Structure 1
Amino acid sequence: MLPVNKHFCFCTFAASKVYRSLARELAKDLEKYSPGTTFIIFTDNPSEFSNYSNVLVFKHKRQGVLYYHERRFAIAKALSMFNSCIYLDADVRICAPVPEDMQWLPGITARSCTTMVKHLQGLIKKTDPPRPNVIKLFEFIKKMGRKLDLDAESDQVTFINEFLFVVTRDAGKEVEFLKQWEKLALYAEVNGYHKHPGYAMGLAAAKVGFPVRHNVMEGIDFFDDRIERVRIAKGLSDPKAKQVYFETQRRIENPQLSIPEKVMMKASKFIEYYYHLIRLIITTTLKTRGHGDTGIRG
């Protein structure tokens, strides 16, 4: 029986065997630590979540090349049903009870965010000279901004780290935000930028005036392997405290495969990538030509 209370839900996107397995671990966490809260999952194989009473699962057919921007569909569904949705990457874990009285202001509340220009300048300054791919990324983000008549280097544009954030309704601005995100997602993907949806999210939010704010979310005790490693390195966390989460994630992400299985997996990913890239370029080109715009790769 699905939970029916509360003004917020959790949601994620989980496709492929690895991420479905990780999402099932997250579903167990939420069932334990946030009982009565709906967990919306968009996935390529809903049957794997049929035994979780807190999960509302939807089958999703991939729209992009890789899966990173697909989370927008889960968020859209969640906001059609709840005032707020807490988006968690499928590989995040919840480690303690979640408060039931959390309230979120309209817009996006991110566990980690900064101005777009500060984030990009930080990437540039990591090496001397800057890596060519980082310079290329910076130029592409500025080009994405110009597509929306925005200055990506303005302090009004935010980069959002996408592993944990909350989206709350704002008198319809959330719908416009999702529409602009979709435009930028398609533009980025046909130009070879498939990952890091936080760039498109920040630009889309700025375009429609959808507020973005930072919140450390002290009430949500979570595990993210990248963040936990940083905390351990800085002496802010006991290396043993969340070792079980590291071990579970490592086991799921690194299954024991034979050499033929590894070869088949690599070949499958290669074929799958180019199939979806060509499909997206063709369908997007046809769509934009229908609207008198053929500059999807410009």
Structure 2
Amino acid sequence: MKNSLGIDFLCFCTSAFGEKYNLMAKLLAQDLQQFAPGCNFIIYTDRPHIFNDNSNVRAVKHSCRGVMPYHERRFAIWDALSVSSSVMYLDADVRICAPVPQNLKFLPGLTARSCGSLQKHIQRRFNQKSQSNKSFKKRYIIEKMAHRISIDLDSPELKFINEFLFAINKDRGRELEFLKIWGDLAIYADTLGMHKHPTYAMTLAAAKSNFPIHHSRMTGLDFFDDRIEKTRISKNQSTSQAKSEYFNQQKNIEKKKKNIFQNYSDLIIRNSSCLYNRARVQLTSKTFPSTLVNYPELNQR
């Protein structure tokens, strides 16, 4: 069975929390409606009502299990794999700019648009001579994560994944083991104080579950990511005018004008929320860890 793109069971997914990312996910939904007709788009979100008028979206109400929402994407992927053998995850602020190629296919495992050696990444990012206390702590946590599942962090086989855009193809159940280990490492990292950077949990979980990681430029997939586009412009691979529409739309959402009181109030709310969630995860991980790690039962669709 193929969708209107001629691609077997391709399903897109993302996670979106907060007004800003939900509004950007809505723009992405419109892109996919236009450029990937017939493909489902699953969104795990705290505000599903925002997508009521997007016919290609199934928005699932989701409460953040971790301290911050960076690892919550795994639930959207888990759900998407229940209806599709081939899933593409996109960050909520990514845009699709042209028809998705009909010959876009992926090998079993995880295929990343951008990835490289984790060993080289760690050596470059956590250079002993220039390490701050913050980066020293981060490296310590990554080492603890690797030790937790008996993975050699110095192995040249480990991949660093730029997790803004990647695909997952089913691989004889290894994809489910990968997601389960990812969830365990996500919560473990939270308890140690690292609430971002899901790439490390993903890389280690893939190694432990023998879930292969592939690199692909995904030729023909025309997308917009503000960080990638700025890099392209700096290297004369693009121009500031080429995708100015997408920059402007994102800026209009991100730079919503607020007064000093509103900005201060938002800062207090963010800090209070982080402290509360950190305490919640610390306590729950010791008493009922399954409620943080386990994936929900899904109806067969």
Q: Structure 1 length normalisation: TM-score?
A: 0.92
Query: Relative to structure 2, which stretch is displaced further, 224-233 or 139-148?
Result: 139-148
Q: CA deviation at 1:258?
A: 1.8
1:233 aligns with 2:234: yes
Q: CA deviation at 1:150?
A: 0.6
Matching residue of 1:179: 180
Matching residue of 2:167: 166
Matched to 2:256, the amino acid is P
Matching residue of 1:295: none
Matched to 1:244, the amino acid is E
1:27 aligns with 2:26: no
State the superposition RMSD in angstroms.
Answer: 1.7
1:11-30 CA-partner distances (Å, limit 9, x unpaired): 00001000000000101111
Q: Structure 2 length normalisation: TM-score?
A: 0.91
1:244-285 CA-partner distances (Å, limit 9, x unpaired): 111111111110112222122111111111111111110001
Q: CA deviation at 1:104?
A: 1.0
- Give the whole-Å Cα distance in 2 for the aligned partners of 1:11 and 1:186: 21
- Give the whole-Å Cα distance in 2 for the aligned partners of 1:40 and 1:9: 8
User: Structure 2: where are the runs of 5+ without partners?
Assistant: 291-301
Matched to 2:200, the amino acid is Y
- Give the whole-Å Cα distance in 1 for the aligned partners of 2:77 and 2:234: 33
Alignment of 1:78-157 (within 5 A): 78-125=80-127, 129-157=130-158
Contact in 2 for aligned 1:142/1:153 (Cα 8 Å): no
Q: CA deviation at 1:4?
A: 8.8
Matched to 1:121, the amino acid is Q
Query: Relative to structure 2, which stretch is displaced further, 43-52 or 253-262?
Result: 253-262
Q: Secondary structure of the equivalent of 1:81?
A: coil
Contact in 1 for aligned 2:104/2:218 (Cα 8 Å): no
Q: CA deviation at 1:38?
A: 0.7
Q: Secondary structure of the equivalent of 1:63?
A: coil
1:46 aligns with 2:44: no
Matched to 1:168, the amino acid is N
- Give the whole-Å Cα distance in 2 for the aligned partners of 1:266 and 1:8: 39
Q: CA deviation at 1:101?
A: 3.4
- Give the whole-Å Cα distance in 1 for the aligned partners of 2:42 and 2:169: 15
1:203-238 CA-partner distances (Å, limit 9, x unpaired): 000001000011011121001101111111111111
Matched to 1:52, the amino acid is N
- Give the whole-Å Cα distance in 2 for the aligned partners of 1:97 and 1:32: 8
- Give the whole-Å Cα distance in 2 for the aligned partners of 1:38 and 1:82: 9
Matching residue of 2:219: 218
- Give the whole-Å Cα distance in 2 for the aligned partners of 1:69 and 1:237: 31
Matching residue of 2:293: none
Contact in 1 for aligned 2:141/2:194 (Cα 8 Å): no
Q: CA deviation at 1:139?
A: 2.6
Matching residue of 1:203: 204
1:62-111 CA-partner distances (Å, limit 9, x unpaired): 10010000000000000111001100000001111101332211100001
Matching residue of 1:68: 70
Contact in 2 for aligned 1:12/1:90 (Cα 8 Å): yes
**Matched pairs, number:** 286
Quick one: percent identity of the two aligned structures? 45
1:141-187 CA-partner distances (Å, limit 9, x unpaired): 12211100111110222121110000111010011001100110001
Matched to 1:36, the amino acid is G
Contact in 2 for aligned 1:107/1:174 (Cα 8 Å): yes
Q: CA deviation at 1:119?
A: 1.0
User: Structure 1: where are the runs of 5+ without partners?
Assistant: 290-298
Contact in 2 for aligned 1:4/1:38 (Cα 8 Å): no
Query: Relative to structure 2, which stretch is displaced further, 154-163 or 72-81?
Result: 154-163
Matched to 1:86, the amino acid is M
